[in-house]
Amino acid sequence: MSVLTKYILQKYLKSFLIVLVSLQLFFVGIDFFQNMKSLPESANLQLLYLFYNSFFTLTLTLPLSLVFGWILTLVILIKGNELVAFIALGVSRRRIYSPVLKISFLLLVILIALQATPLAYSYEQKSKILDDEYFISTKSDIFLKYNDYHIFFQKLYPIEKRAENIHIFKVQDKDLVESIVAKKAYFQNNRWYVIDAKVTKKPKNIDFHSSKIEVRHEKFLHTLEGFKPKILNNVYEAKSTFSIVDAISALILLDKQGINTDKIRAALYYEVVVAFFILPLIILIFAYAALNSRFFNIGKFTSLSIFFTLVSWGVFFLLHKFSNNGTLLPEISLLLPMFLWYTLSFIVYKKKTSY
């Protein structure tokens, strides 16, 4: 690593951490004081609330802090005439912003990796603490299709990985051939175990003299292999989040069943792709920064840069909401705008730095 790279990273990371900590304390603190009266009296639950809220806020503040930290770094470099000195010494523009791009990309990858863990459900967990439902999680009247089976769960307990009052119907060629009724089922070893099930089977060929309905009792039956309770919970929740791992699992399973996966794809694209919208911003802000402090208007540059960053983030957030509620296909509302954003940014940067 060159001396120049170390120097720029030292300046940038210091600015980035100042902005990130400030935003985290502001948003988490405001939220905590607003909801203090609604929180449980338990100190442990209050600490958990702060922890979950901190990570949820981090998914919003970290991308913005990466850009705001770069704006602050540029202001410091320009005001100290360091930026113009770098250019005068023959340092290329790419060598100046390249370390910032690389460290920003690395931090975003770490953030995405964390969203593949249970921390991705931080917003849901903090909401449960706020509603005094942290230790209670139930969903009622869930009906789903799995291969040839149509399954009804009267009650689902995602955290405990169990369900009550289960009715399973096997349908082949639009003909009901078998039904399974049980009071309890548990999710273990990546599959659902139905306990003390009553199995009723109808003969394929009905004959008035020989056909009969077969009824038997099974102590254990297994079905829905790989269909996790958390996936069931979130797929049938109007407002929910997915970890990346659960989103991929749900996408594969539901796609096989022919069930609409727009909501899951939107969540997956938003978590994995949209955060990288800041990388072109970093380059564009650098392209429009003045090299000489004599011709540098700090107020105008800072306010316009922050405004443009917030507008860009708001547009992608709005597009995510459109795709999440089914108004637009996720590929059209998220992937296509991201591609156009990178293409437009590249054209603008080339045009701005060509002279």
| Average pLDDT for runs of 10 along the chain of length 355 | 86 94 93 86 87 92 94 90 83 87 94 88 83 67 72 77 83 79 83 83 69 77 68 55 76 70 83 91 90 79 92 90 79 90 91 73
Q: What is the pLDDT of residue 121?
A: 82
Query: In terms of domains, do 287 and 335 share one?
Result: yes
Query: In terms of domains, do 99 and 18 share one?
Result: yes
Query: In terms of domains, do 61 and 7 share one?
Result: yes
**Which of 211, 236, 261 finishes a domain?**
236
Measured at the CA of 23, the angle between CA 285 and CA 247, to 5 degrees, comes to: 85
pLDDT in tens, 218-233: 788 777 676 666 565 5
Q: What is the pLDDT of residue 23?
A: 94
How many Cβ atoms are within 10 Å of 159's Cβ, its own excluded? 14
Query: In terms of domains, do 85 and 16 share one?
Result: yes
Query: In terms of domains, do 202 and 156 share one?
Result: yes
Query: In terms of domains, do 7 and 106 share one?
Result: yes
- Structural domain tally of the chain? 2
Residue given tokens 């548990």 in the structure block? 186
Query: In terms of domains, do 104 and 157 share one?
Result: no
Within a domain: 123: no
- The structure's pTM equals 0.78
Domain holding 80, by residue range, is 3-114+273-353
- Angstrom distance (rounded) from CA 100 to CA 278: 11
Tokens of 163: 């369900």
- Burial of 348 from C-beta contacts in 10 A (0-12 / 13-18 / 19+): middle
Question: Between the CA of residue 8 and those of 77, 82, 100, 279, what are the distances in Å?
Answer: 9, 10, 8, 17
**Which of 236, 263, 283 finishes a domain?**
236
Q: What is the pLDDT of residue 24?
A: 94
CA neighbours closer than 13 Å in the CB half-sphere of residue 319: 21
Q: What is the pLDDT of residue 232?
A: 59
Q: What is the pLDDT of residue 353?
A: 75
Within a domain: 178: yes
Within a domain: 71: yes
Assign 178 to helix, strand or coil: strand
Q: Phi and psi for 142 in degrees, rounded to 5?
A: -100, 125
